[in-house]
Amino acid sequence: MNLNEAGPSSSAIPCAALIIDAAGCITDCSPAAKELLGRQSESLSGRAVAALIPGLPFAIDTPGYNIAYAVFHAADRQRMRHMALLADGRRLPIDVALGSLTMNGHLCIALTLKPSTSMVS
């Protein structure tokens, strides 16, 4: 199953999720994530996640660090505040939670996104 397929809980609140590979490139994107980022008509596959959410420290040339960072931050289960760059150039404060999972024998990084409800200073 990929993030575009409806699962058994598809009637629940949709999950805005991105799956990235060890190099920090998007391999899958839920429809809710595309909507949140204002990129419904774009393919995000293959794009560097840091181009959409610049504060994330994922770089193409540091795959080992990227995985270690995600695993470390997934353990504390805290959401981190970042600014997403929307397709129209606006910036949106979002909260990002990290996780890791194995897909097709490869370790991947899962990001769940939600609009930030806290006030931004």
pLDDT digits (tens, 9 = 90+) for 70-92: 988 888 778 899 999 999 999 99
Residue 110, phi then psi, degrees to nearest 5: -105, 130
Domain boundaries along the sequence of the chain: 16-115
Question: Is-contact 18 49, C-beta < 8 A?
Answer: yes
Q: Which of 1, 67, 66, 3 is nearest to 33 (CA)?
A: 3
- Average pLDDT (12-17) is 74
Contacts of 30 (CB under 8 A, 6+ apart): 3, 4, 14, 15, 16, 17, 18
Distances (CA, A) of 121 to 71, 95, 97: 29, 15, 21
Q: What is the pTM of this model?
A: 0.82
Does an H or E element contain 100, and which?
A: strand 91-103
pLDDT of residue 9: 40
Task: Kindly report the average pLDDT of the chain as a whole number.
Answer: 86
CATH superfamily of this structure's domain 16-115: PAS domain (3.30.450.20)
What is the structure's pLDDT at 71?
87
